[in-house]
Amino acid sequence: MITKQTSDFSTLDFVSGETLLIDKPLHWSSFKVIHKLRQVISEKKIGHAGTLDPLATGLLIICTGKLTKQISSFQDLQKTYTGTFTLGGVTASMDSEMEVTNPMPFNRITEEEIYAAKKLFEGEIEQTPPMYSAVNYGGKKLYELARKGKTVVRSSRRVTIYNFSITKIDLPEINFEIACSKGTYIRVLAHDLGEKLGCGAYLSSLRRTAIGNFSVSEALTVEEFAEKYEKKLFI
């Protein structure tokens, strides 16, 4: 496992397989991270264990070479996120990528109402994947249909919210920490919470802090990894 604590880059074998912990930066797609790493290590066989949206930051687990066969074992692990919900409106993407529509008053929402609504999203819950997602529908990604102005009926999915903590309320913002199962959409949770409160809400920031027992505090940025790897090559 290649982490911030890894000091000996001279023994790495990306063909036989290595696992990297990477801290994805804001505005990068998960694929862009993969593309950059392919350039650094000259290994085409690389995959990640669970994507992050471009507006999210945090932990990606990357497998190379023969270890890409083990990606599914990481994908099934519990995920932990921190971030912010913003009350008072909705967006088509359910996050801050798109403009807020249908602004609604939120000033009368009390902390008691927020905590009561939060409890409705603990344990096993049903979620409907958003139109702006990579879910396949009839051979196309949902976001491809959404960008053409189309909406289709999606089947709901059962996911598990193991922990949902509100860490700060400063309306219209609600800061949170959530531990959840594979397949959970935090932006859908934001949207659904806003519906329960009657004022709308969207996901305005998101950071993945852990996957199973692996923490983002152990992760390297892409730049840090590239620097360490290149120094090894030229020593």
Active site residues: 53
Question: Angle at the Cα of 199 (from 195 to 200), degrees rounded to 5?
Answer: 55
Whether 190 contacts 178, CB under 8 Å? no
The strand pairing partners of 24, in sequence order, are: 58
What is the distance between the alpha carbons of residues 35 and 16, in angstroms, rounded to a whole number? 19
Q: Which of 212, 166, 165, 175 is nearest to 50 (CA)?
A: 212
The encoded tokens of residue 14 equal: 């990306």
- Percent of the chain as helix, strand, coil, to the nearest 5: 30, 30, 40
Within 10 angstroms of residue 158's Cβ, the number of other Cβ atoms is: 10
Whether 210 contacts 177, CB under 8 Å? no
The encoded tokens of residue 64 equal: 């190379």
What is the distance between the alpha carbons of residues 172 and 188, in angstroms, rounded to a whole number? 18
Whether omega for the bond prior to residue 172 falls within 30 degrees of 0, making it cis, is: yes
Biggest CA pair distance of the chain: 63
